[in-house]
Structure 1
Amino acid sequence: MSNYKKAYIAGGCFWGMEELFRTQPGVIDTEVGYIGGQNDHPTYRNHPGHAEGIEIVYDPAATNFTRILDFFFRVHDPTTVDRQGNDIGSSYRSAIFFQNEEEKTEAEKMIKLVDASGRWPGNAVTTLEPYSTFWPAEEEHQDYLVKRPNGYTCHFERFGTFLS
């Protein structure tokens, strides 16, 4: 597993994001959790400032950070502040948690590409936040839509790639 990389994103309820990313080419594993907030050991009932995020483990021989971001911007609405579907609040913000300057630069380029495409009704409000500790969510939230196939999600692939 030493050759695998990790990406950290948030785009609304973590259940739907995880379900869509788990089957993407090159994705090895996914885990939902809390990131970017104010307390250690956050929980579903106590995660001030944390986004409901997803940790994506991927094989860089099969995909890359840019392709992950491309899919990310196709499965959630990056133009709504602190909201996805019926979920409202900073926990549901659109965010990319970059781990280094290269990821930050790639994210900035992708946001410009998304905005220039005109596919969304406005510009992306996705925040770029430095990586902080990723705290795995409680077990009942992991693989939620696998366990409950008819569970709530507002995520779906809206259109094809932004990449040429």
Structure 2
Amino acid sequence: MENTQVATLAGGCFWCIESAFNSVDGVVSAFSGYAGGHIDNPSYKAVCTGETGHAEVVQVTFDANSISYREILEIFFSLHNPTQLNRQGNDVGTQYRSAVFYHNEDQKAQAEAIIDEITKEEIWPDPVVTEVVAINNYYQAEDYHQDYFKNNPQNQYCSMVVAPKLAKFKKTFAARLKS
């Protein structure tokens, strides 16, 4: 692959976002991690306090010859509610905020454009609160968070929250899924 790019996205709990992106054709990898905070190498426990400033993120490496950054953003915005400030459903705290951590000015412009479109189309009844900020750090989450849904489908959170979101995602984006 000659045209790999990276997207770093925060949309609530990283288990769902990571699982969805790992099933998308053109995605090389998707890893759960932390970004946007003010301490080095934070632990999950520290991030959960909300005091490190990090968001739970998924860092997606993709082949831009197979899938565009725009399509990555479209998938991202379908996987969470971008109007909930510092939360997703029952997950509350700044670590669950909605954010696009852009890696270059083109990513910034595309993120701002899609947010403008979502706003103009009134897809959500409330304003979009997704932050669009430059990536200043990224730390991969602990190994047990990687492929969490795949490895723990019996977990109550996975069966009650992640599984229904992924089922809806797979129905909506069936043409984009890996064979």
Name the TM-score, length of structure 1 as normaliser: 0.92
- For residue 109 of structure 1, the aligned residue among 98, 113, 120 is 113
1:77 Cα deviation (Å)? Answer: 0.2
Q: Which amino acid aligns with 2:46?
A: N
- Distance across 2 between alignment mates of 1:81 and 1:31: 23
- For residue 86 of structure 2, the aligned residue among 82, 99, 124 is 82
1:121 Cα deviation (Å)? Answer: 2.0
Task: Give the SS at the match of 1:39.
Answer: coil
Alignment RMSD, CA only? 1.7
1:2 Cα deviation (Å)? Answer: 5.2
- Distance across 2 between alignment mates of 1:96 and 1:57: 14
Unaligned runs of 5+ in 1: none
Q: Which amino acid aligns with 2:154?
A: N
User: Do the aligned residues in 2 keep the contact of 1:73 with 1:114 (CA within 8 Å)?
Assistant: no
Identity score, percent: 38
1:4 Cα deviation (Å)? Answer: 1.1
Q: Which amino acid aligns with 2:38?
A: Q
Aligned equivalent of 1:9: 9
- Distance across 1 between alignment mates of 2:142 and 2:172: 33
Structure 1 residues 122-141: aligned runs within 5 Å: 122-141=126-145
Unaligned runs of 5+ in 2: 174-179
User: Do the aligned residues in 2 keep the contact of 1:96 with 1:129 (CA within 8 Å)?
Assistant: yes
- Distance across 2 between alignment mates of 1:4 and 1:54: 16
> Which of the pair is proportionally richer in helix?
2
- Distance across 2 between alignment mates of 1:74 and 1:4: 23
CA deviation vs aligned residue, 1:127-151 (integer Å, no higher than 9, x gap): 0111122100011111100101133
- Distance across 2 between alignment mates of 1:6 and 1:18: 14
Q: Which amino acid aligns with 2:3?
A: N
- Distance across 2 between alignment mates of 1:89 and 1:2: 38
